[in-house]
Structure 1
């Protein structure tokens, strides 16, 4: 049963990233790589979340992985790093945002505020993870560049 769930998680995270890349008209030579990066980021998120370490930490580490892999692939493929940022798509807290909005509409103020704060924290963790990857790459590049 575990491998069935793993297969579902991997295939849908790949397909979600792939279709988003198609939607924004991403170049074909970056589409497959970006989808693999999104799948690996989701796999890390899903593993950490299933280990009950929290969704904030899971999103941060997954975004960090997506950022580092995106930078690595941008160097290898000689493309802008932003081509591989679509790997963040599976991490976006869409369901939580929907639940927060539904709670606001149904006048469940306490639940709505709680969900909204959670969405903001997850979005912040994703942004912080991605920026941290860029900072790590910048520090590494400065040390490896000859003066």
Structure 2
């Protein structure tokens, strides 16, 4: 097994936790929270998920950057969009920055005052981060075929 293969396995396991957790939150817990107008359902899930979700996200970032370097894409080429793999990595980095923007907004502006009154705003954040995660997963699957052409 090569180092790149090991990085890919770790990346896929972390993606399973990150994307899977958000899918479960979006499909199972969010509809119930909205139906019952109960933000505690979201808060309780987040408290349980965050200790494994955040390390998974960190592992995704580290392994993703490492694999980008393995593909010969140094920092100065990340947003060049010059190759199929470069296109995928560039789009995934943009989506990662968008995920951070949602996370920062949620952490500082939505979660501190999470209540029945802003539960729908939290729902928008949850669905957006879930869709972004699934999009990143789909984009990553194209690497095997040389990325997006």
Into which bin does the TM-score normalised by the smaller protein fall? 0.3 to 0.5
Q: TM-score, normalised by structure 2?
A: 0.32
TM-score by length of 1: 0.32
More RCO (CA 8 Å, sep 6+): 2
